[in-house]
Amino acid sequence: MLSDPAGPRVWVFFDRFQSTPISEVYLPQAQPLGDRTADAGEVDMIGTPHFPGTNVPDFLPGFTLTEREIYRGLSLTVFRAARPVPLPGADFRLFDARVVTTGA
Protein backbone atom coordinates (compact mmCIF):
# COMPACT_ATOMS: atom_id res chain seq x y z
CA MET A 1 0.00 0.00 0.00
CA LEU A 2 2.62 2.59 1.01
CA SER A 3 5.82 2.41 -0.97
CA ASP A 4 8.67 4.52 -2.17
CA PRO A 5 7.29 6.79 -4.87
CA ALA A 6 8.33 6.52 -8.49
CA GLY A 7 8.02 10.31 -8.76
CA PRO A 8 7.30 13.31 -6.54
CA ARG A 9 4.25 12.85 -4.30
CA VAL A 10 2.32 14.65 -1.62
CA TRP A 11 0.89 12.42 1.11
CA VAL A 12 -2.08 13.56 3.25
CA PHE A 13 -2.57 11.54 6.44
CA PHE A 14 -5.98 12.40 7.92
CA ASP A 15 -5.70 10.43 11.14
CA ARG A 16 -3.55 11.51 14.02
CA PHE A 17 -1.98 8.31 15.30
CA GLN A 18 -1.40 7.92 19.03
CA SER A 19 2.31 7.16 18.76
CA THR A 20 4.75 7.69 15.91
CA PRO A 21 3.02 9.15 12.83
CA ILE A 22 2.53 6.49 10.17
CA SER A 23 4.37 8.69 7.68
CA GLU A 24 7.56 8.43 9.76
CA VAL A 25 7.34 4.63 9.81
CA TYR A 26 6.58 4.00 6.14
CA LEU A 27 8.07 7.13 4.54
CA PRO A 28 11.12 8.05 6.64
CA GLN A 29 12.54 10.18 3.79
CA ALA A 30 9.38 12.34 3.58
CA GLN A 31 9.46 15.92 4.78
CA PRO A 32 6.55 17.94 6.19
CA LEU A 33 5.17 20.16 3.42
CA GLY A 34 4.35 23.08 5.69
CA ASP A 35 3.81 26.34 3.80
CA ARG A 36 6.25 25.65 0.99
CA THR A 37 5.33 24.51 -2.52
CA ALA A 38 6.26 21.08 -3.82
CA ASP A 39 5.93 19.55 -7.26
CA ALA A 40 3.82 16.40 -7.26
CA GLY A 41 2.55 14.05 -9.91
CA GLU A 42 0.52 12.19 -7.33
CA VAL A 43 -1.44 13.03 -4.18
CA ASP A 44 -2.23 10.16 -1.81
CA MET A 45 -4.87 10.69 0.88
CA ILE A 46 -4.86 8.18 3.72
CA GLY A 47 -7.20 7.83 6.70
CA THR A 48 -10.00 5.78 8.12
CA PRO A 49 -12.82 5.12 5.64
CA HIS A 50 -15.14 7.85 6.99
CA PHE A 51 -12.75 10.67 6.02
CA PRO A 52 -13.26 12.64 2.80
CA GLY A 53 -11.09 12.15 -0.26
CA THR A 54 -13.42 10.59 -2.79
CA ASN A 55 -13.55 13.61 -5.10
CA VAL A 56 -10.77 15.73 -6.55
CA PRO A 57 -10.45 18.77 -4.28
CA ASP A 58 -10.83 22.13 -6.04
CA PHE A 59 -7.19 22.98 -5.39
CA LEU A 60 -5.94 19.94 -7.36
CA PRO A 61 -6.53 21.07 -10.96
CA GLY A 62 -4.95 18.70 -13.43
CA PHE A 63 -5.32 15.70 -11.10
CA THR A 64 -7.64 12.75 -11.68
CA LEU A 65 -8.95 10.24 -9.17
CA THR A 66 -7.20 7.00 -10.15
CA GLU A 67 -7.60 4.69 -7.17
CA ARG A 68 -9.72 4.23 -4.09
CA GLU A 69 -9.06 1.28 -1.81
CA ILE A 70 -9.66 0.16 1.75
CA TYR A 71 -6.83 -1.91 3.17
CA ARG A 72 -6.64 -3.14 6.77
CA GLY A 73 -9.01 -0.46 8.00
CA LEU A 74 -7.33 2.40 6.13
CA SER A 75 -8.74 4.24 3.15
CA LEU A 76 -6.33 5.18 0.35
CA THR A 77 -7.41 7.65 -2.32
CA VAL A 78 -4.93 8.39 -5.12
CA PHE A 79 -4.98 11.35 -7.50
CA ARG A 80 -2.54 11.55 -10.42
CA ALA A 81 -1.53 14.25 -12.89
CA ALA A 82 -0.01 13.76 -16.34
CA ARG A 83 3.10 15.64 -15.16
CA PRO A 84 4.25 17.11 -11.82
CA VAL A 85 2.22 20.13 -10.72
CA PRO A 86 3.32 22.72 -8.10
CA LEU A 87 1.17 22.31 -4.97
CA PRO A 88 1.29 25.04 -2.28
CA GLY A 89 1.28 23.64 1.23
CA ALA A 90 -1.10 26.40 2.29
CA ASP A 91 -3.80 24.77 0.13
CA PHE A 92 -3.81 21.78 2.48
CA ARG A 93 -4.57 23.85 5.61
CA LEU A 94 -8.27 23.09 5.25
CA PHE A 95 -7.54 19.53 6.35
CA ASP A 96 -6.77 18.46 9.90
CA ALA A 97 -4.00 16.27 8.57
CA ARG A 98 -0.27 15.59 8.47
CA VAL A 99 0.93 16.55 4.98
CA VAL A 100 4.34 15.37 3.78
CA THR A 101 6.16 15.32 0.48
CA THR A 102 8.58 12.95 -1.18
CA GLY A 103 9.20 15.52 -3.92
CA ALA A 104 11.59 18.42 -4.24
**What's the pLDDT band for 2 if we cut at 50, 70, 90?**
low
User: For the chain, what is the domain count?
Assistant: 1
Tell me whether residue 64 is in a domain. yes
For the segment 62-91, the average pLDDT, to the nearest whole number, is 88
Does residue 82 carry a pLDDT above 60? yes
Q: What is the mean pLDDT of residues 67-73?
A: 83
Q: Name the residue among 14, 9, 33, 5 with its Cα closest to residue 81.
A: 9
Band of residue 88 on the pLDDT scale cut at 50, 70, 90 = very high
Q: Is residue 77 part of a domain?
A: yes
When pLDDT is cut at 50, 70 and 90, the band that residue 58 belongs to is confident
- Domain contains 3: no
The domain containing residue 72 runs over which residues?
Answer: 9-101
Q: What per-residue confidence (pLDDT) applies to 66?
A: 87
First to last CA, the chain: 22
CA 52 to CA 58: how far, in whole Å?
A: 13
Structure pTM? 0.82
The pLDDT tens digits of the residues spanning 24-53 come to: 777 778 889 999 999 999 999 888 776 665
Establish if 2 belongs to a structural domain.
no
Flag whether 1 is in a domain. Answer: no
SS (H, E, C) 38-102: EEEEEEEEEECCCCCCCCCCCCCCCEEEEEEEEECCEEEEEEEEEEEEEEEHHHHCCCCCEEEEC
Task: Assess if residue 58 is contained within a domain.
Answer: yes
